[in-house]
Structure 1
C-alpha cells in the first residue's frame, strides 16, 4: 500500500462565494464630441476617443477655434474630473445644407466612438453631449448613445417660443435624454465674453453631483460656477408658473435662471414612460442596474445551490439598505422571482427580481396660508 498522508487536524478552505459587498457603480465619467480645427492633433487626433484626466492641459491643447476650449472649460469649472473626448472634422460641401449634413454625420460617428472607450481606454462614459453641435439629428444620436452606454445625455432644445420648444420636445421619447433651453455666457481664456453651451456645463455639473452628492440629485437648482449671464433669458417667477419658463418646464424642457447665482431649472427627461420622467429616476435605475450586474460577477459559474441564491439576494439587499440609509433611494428589495423551476435550475438558470423607489425631486411645494385672529388672544394673554 502506498504511503499517503492522513489529515489529522484542521484545514482552512476559502469559500468562493458568500455574501459580497456590492460597490456602487461609478457614473461620473463624461464623454463629449468636439470640433476644433486648431487643436493639437497629437493630443486630439480626429475620430478617436481620447482619455482626458488633466483638464487644464487638455484645454491648452484644444485650440481656440470651434467648440473644444469652450466645452472643456465648462466642465473644468466644476473641478477635476475624468472623461473622454472625440474630436471630429468640420463639415464640407458646396452649400450650407451640405456642410451641415456632413458635420452631422461626423458628429454622429464621433458619438459612436464613445461606445468603444471602455475597451480602448478602460473607462466608460456615462454622461454625454456634443455641445454646440447638437442639431436635431445629433440629439437623436445622443439619446441612442446614452441608451447604449446606460448613461445620460444633454442636448440643446431648439425653438424661439415655448410653443416651438414643445413641438421640438414632442419629437423625442428617450428617457436617457434631457433637453435644455438657451445657453450661458462665460469668459474664455482671453477674458472675452462668449457663449458657453448649456449642455456642456450640464455635463460638468452632472459629473460633480455624481462625485460629491449622488446620482439621486437632479441638475436643477444647483449654483453653476463660471458663468456671467444667460444668453436671451426667459421670463421666470418662482411663485407663478404663468411665465415663459413655466411653459418651457411644462414641455418637459429644462431652462436657465438667475437667482442666488445662475442655475438650471427643470428635472424632466424626454421619457415617454412617466415612471422615468425625472432625471433622478433614470439615473437611479441605471446605477442600481450596473451595481447589481457588476456586483454579482463573482457568483457566475459558482455551483448553483440554495445558499448561493440566498447569498446573491442578501448581497443586493445589503446594498439597498446602505443606499436607503444614505438617502439616495426611498427603498428597494431584491427577491427570488417566479419561474425557478427544477428544470430551469438544473439548466443553470436562476431568476431574481428587485423593486425600488427612486427619490423624486420636490418640484411643486404648496404652502396654504390662513388669516386668523387667534394670535391676538396669545398676545393679550401675555400682556395680562
Structure 2
C-alpha cells in the first residue's frame, strides 16, 4: 500500500476568476513646458521631465527669469497636486524674429525616441518619472505651430491642453486664430488674470493657461473629471488684464462672441472665473471639455483595469468577467453622477475564427454629463393669482 497523506481538516482555495474592480485613472497630474534661464540646473535640467511635489521649493529653484516660476505659482494657488515640468532653453538670435524661431524650435522639440526634447519629452515622462501628465500647458506662448504641436502631444498622452488664443488680444483676432486648430484635446483661453509675482511681489499679468491647469487639477480632486473649468472661482488672482464685456442674460457681448467661437474667456463675478465649456474639436460630439475628459478617463480606466485579464484562457467565463468588470465601473460612475449612463457588451466581431486566433472584441457606449450651458426661463403674465383676491382681503 502506497503511503499517501489524507486530508482531515480545512483547505483554503483562492479563486482568481470573476469580475475585477476597475480603479478610475488618476487625472490631476499636470505637465508644463516652460523657460527659466536662471533655474538650478540640477533641479530642472533642460529637456528632461522632472517631478514637482513641493511647488514652493520648485519656485525657488526656478529663479526669477522666464515663465516657470510664475506658472508654478499660478498652479500652486489653485491646488496641491503633483506635476511634471520640462524646462527648455530660451530663444537665441540677432533679432526678435530669430529669437522667436529659436524658442519655437526649443519648445516643440525633437520627437526622436531616446532623445526627445522640448514638449516631446513629456511623452517620456511615465518611463522616466513614473507619472503621466494629463493636464498640459505652455504658458506665455502664442505661436500657432507650438499650439498645434501641443494638441498632438495631448492626444498622444490622452490629456487636455490649455493654450492662449493668439498673439493679438482682440476678439476678432482670437476668433480668426481659433480656426487654425482641430484637436479635441486643445482648449483656447483669451486674456490674462493679474496676480502677485512670486519673486518681485508686484501685481502683474499672470498666465491664464497655468491657472487653468491648476484649476483643472483642483476640480478633478474635489468634484470630478465630469466638471468643466467654467464658472468655478479662481484663487490667487486680483484682476483681469484684458477685460471683455459680459452679461449673464445677453449673449451679444464680447464674451458671447468668444464662447461662440469655442474660446474660453475670463470674467469677474463673485470673484474671478473662466467662462466657456468648449474646445477645438471638429466632431460636435466632443465639443464640451467634460465629454473629452470623460472619454479619456473611461479609455484609460478600462485599458489599465483589464490588464490582469490579458493572456488568460479565452473562455466564455472570462468574457463575462471582463464585461461585468466594465459594467460595474459604469454603475459606480453613474451612481456618483459622473456619467448619465453606459453599457459594455460583446460585439458581433467575436466569430469562431477570431476567437480561435485569441481575439476578443468588447464594445461600450456611454452618455457623458453635458454642462448646463444655456438655461432658458419662460416668463408669463397672468391674472390667475387675483382669483381669490376677495377671500384673502376678507
- TM-score band by shorter chain is over 0.9
1:99: which partner in 2?
99
C-alpha RMSD of the superposition:
1.4
Residues 1:372 and 2:374 are matched in the alignment: no
Offset of residue 137 of structure 1: 1.2
Q: Work out the CA distance in 2 between the residues paired with 1:7 and 1:352.
A: 43
Match runs of 1:303-342 below 5 Å: 303-342=313-352
In the alignment, is the contact (CA less than 8 A) between 1:220 and 1:266 conserved in 2? yes
In 2, the alpha carbon distance for the partners of 1:346 and 1:11 equals 36
Residues 376 and 345 of structure 1: CA distance in aligned 2, closer, same or farther (over 3 Å): same
CA distance in 1, matches of 2:317, 2:393: 72
Task: Using the TM superposition, give the Cα deviation of residue 191 of structure 1 relative to its aligned residue in structure 2, in angstroms.
Answer: 2.2
2:195/2:237 contact within 8 Å kept:
yes
Partner of 1:171: 180
Q: Does 1:183 align with 2:192?
A: yes
Instruction: State the Cα distance separating 1:232 from its structure 2 match.
Output: 1.8
1:131 is matched with 139
Count of residue pairs brought into register by the alignment: 384
Contact kept, 8 Å, 1:107 with 1:133, in 2: the verdict is no
111, 121, 124: which one aligns with 2:119: 111
Alpha carbons 1:17, 1:302 under 8 Å: kept: no
Question: Does 2:164 correspond to 1:156?
Answer: yes
Offset, 1:61: 1.1
| Alignment-derived partner of residue 288 in structure 2 | 278
Segments of structure 2 that go 5 or more residues without pairing to the other structure are 110-117
The residue matched to 2:50 in structure 1 has which SS? strand
User: Secondary structure of the residue that 2:266 maps to in structure 1?
Assistant: strand
Contact 2:169–2:191, Cα closer than 8 Å, also in 1: no
User: 1:160 offset after TM fit, Å?
Assistant: 3.5
Find the residue that maps to 1:207 and give its secondary structure: helix
Query: Which stretch shows the higher mean deviation, 356-365 or 160-169?
Result: 160-169
Greater mean alpha carbon deviation, residues 247-256 or residues 4-13 = 4-13
Is contact 1:128-1:154 (8 Å) kept?
Answer: yes
Query: 2:154 pairs with 146, 160, 183, which one?
Result: 146
| Distance of 1:225 and 1:127 partners within structure 2 | 18
Q: Secondary structure at the match of 1:85?
A: strand
> Given that residues 17 and 298 in structure 1 are in contact (C-alpha distance below 8 angstroms), is that contact kept between their aligned partners in structure 2?
no
- 89-98 or 357-366: bigger deviation: 89-98
- Contact between 1:284 and 1:358, CA under 8 Å: does it hold in 2? yes
Distance 2:7 2:314 in 1: 29
Partner of 1:210: 220
Which TM-score applies when normalising by structure 1?
A: 0.97
Q: Does 1:258 align with 2:257?
A: no
Distance in 1 (CA, whole Å) between partners of 2:127 and 2:95 is 38
Q: Could you tell me the TM-score, scaled by structure 2's length?
A: 0.95
SS of alignment partner, residue 32 of structure 1: strand
